[in-house]
Amino acid sequence: MSHTQQPARRRDRTHYLYIGVVVAVGLGILVGIVAPALAVELKPLGQGFVGLIKMMIQPVIFCTIVLGVGSVRNAARVGKVGGLALGYFLTMSTVALAIGLVVGNLLNPGGGFTIDASTASAGAEQAAGGHGSTSEFLLGIIPTSLLSAVTSGEVLQTLLVALLVGFALQAMGSQGEPVLRGVGHIQRLVFRVLAMVMWLAPVGAFGAIAAVVGETGVDALKSLAVLMIGFYITCFLFVFVILGVLLKVATGINLLSLFRYLGREFLLILSTSSSESALPRLIAKMEHAGVDKPTVGVVVPTGYSFNLDGTAIYLTMASLFIASAMGNPLSISEQISLLLFMMIASKGAAGVTGAGMATLAGGLSSHRPDLVDGVGLIVGIDRFMSEARALTNFAGNAVATVLIGRWTGGVDRAQMQRVLAGEDPFDETTMLDDDDLAAGEEATGQQDLEVLAEARREPQPV
């Protein structure tokens, strides 16, 4: 009994960590308002924490996909999960675009705005980093070498190489088992390092929030409140109406219970404004909740590049806002062609703070150069919209993992019910079910001893 109680005590200590994050966010806002010059100087604290999290993302994805794909003996299973995931992502991105178009055209938040020289220069600066063709995007998926895919910083490169390695181990059969066990040990090491890094979350949250409030100020938000509120409402409707109803009808799971289980991840995203900061924890938590490794390994990393519901809504409403503010509204055909281009250009940038604005500027530069200067109109509030983008993207990927797992038979319903009911808490100290893994290894070791003993008995003369 004492063995099962010890992990619970360790988990309890982590509650103080996330209480610390909440306090740090409040202090950051206060410092940003009272001493904005000092607050801006604190920006490296937030950047450093997000950098530490991103440092862990590619090893986590590599280990998860290799273990998930390599341990499945039927390659068609992985192909089914991947194909269904891409089809679902395309469908939901289209729905998100449609909702953004409807709300954006109804609100028309850009009416009555004027643009000055400083605003125009800010838009041009964003456009400079927003160019990129579809062919460049596709070629960028191929890494320089097999090993560089784990160190390049490009999630899609890691996804490609991990799938190739997983399928290779799958084809090797029993000969690949030692490699899989080695990757399993590396995964435990990576998650343990990640658990250590997470204790710096309050420091990172304080620096990130203080800097953005110090840079933006309160006055800059007032004139753009309509766009911000409209965007937040649109994201809310998409998540709780579209995704909530779909999850309930398809699986019987209540969206709020899933979000309650992922509450710490939402808090982390809110404080860092990056959905990528919660990616490793989403992988660990979905596996703990009963979704099998192949589904988690394929759906979560792929979703972070292709399931950008929040980004789709943002690009839609921001484009309509800028066009209206500059007195040159987009026609329906222009809206559709521009946003389809942006959907392709935005792949792989889900977790990068500010990447949505660069994509917006690049898309406008390619399709409507006369509107590029208008990007400067939303520079002041992009950070706050980035938080809503990241939260919506994360929510969409969490729901997608459960849905696709359910549709492909990759969900342990009993385990998920226990987890969402709070009966089987997530182990924050290791982020892995080490007790189950240790028990499995102990059982395997006992079986090996029994086989060895039996082999020693067989040569005895009759």
Q: What is the DSSP string of 319-339?
A: HHHHHHHTT-PPPHHHHHHHH
Average pLDDT, integer, range 31-45: 83
The per-residue pLDDT for 8 is 43
What contacts 199, CB < 8 A, 6 or more positions away? Answer: 17
Looking at residue 153, the DSSP 8-state letter turns out to be: S
The per-residue pLDDT for 240 is 92
Rounded alpha-carbon distances, angstroms, from residue 440 to 231, 284, 285, 436, 444: 48, 18, 20, 6, 6
The per-residue pLDDT for 362 is 65
The C-alpha atoms of residue 269 and residue 390 are separated, in whole angstroms, by 7
What contacts 206, CB < 8 A, 6 or more positions away? Answer: 24, 25, 27, 28, 31, 42, 45, 46
Closest CA to 128 of 360, 329, 316: 360
Contact 121, 24 (CB under 8 A): no
Which phi and psi (to 5°) does residue 411 adopt? -120, 130
Average pLDDT, integer, range 156-163: 81
pLDDT above 70 covers a percentage of the chain that reads 70
The per-residue pLDDT for 239 is 92
Average pLDDT, integer, range 425-434: 68
Least reliable range by pLDDT among 191-195, 308-312, 426-430, 455-459: 455-459
pLDDT at 277 over 50: yes
pLDDT at 246 over 90: yes
Q: For tokens 């939303």, what's the residue?
A: 378
The C-alpha atoms of residue 117 and residue 37 are separated, in whole angstroms, by 24
More confident residue, 102 or 109: 102
The per-residue pLDDT for 353 is 47
> Does pTM surpass 0.75?
no
The per-residue pLDDT for 243 is 92
pLDDT at 457 over 70: no
The C-alpha atoms of residue 332 and residue 311 are separated, in whole angstroms, by 19
The domains found in the chain, sorted by start residue, are 56-193+218-454 (1.10.3860.10)
Average pLDDT, integer, range 387-400: 88
pLDDT at 442 over 70: no
Average pLDDT, integer, range 417-433: 78
Contact 225, 378 (CB under 8 A): no
The per-residue pLDDT for 2 is 41
More confident residue, 97 or 367: 97
pLDDT at 11 over 50: no
The C-alpha atoms of residue 459 and residue 462 are separated, in whole angstroms, by 9
pLDDT at 399 over 90: yes
Highest mean pLDDT among 31-45, 356-370, 405-419: 405-419
* pLDDT tens digit sequence for 168-183: 887 887 888 888 888 8
**pLDDT class of 249 with cuts at 50, 70, 90:** very high
- Mean pLDDT of all residues in the chain? 74
Highest mean pLDDT among 12-26, 194-208, 339-353: 194-208
The per-residue pLDDT for 431 is 63
Closest CA to 310 of 394, 393, 237: 393
Per-residue tokens: 20: 């610390």
Q: Supply angle C-alpha 351, 353, 354, rounded to 5.
A: 125
Average pLDDT, integer, range 366-392: 72
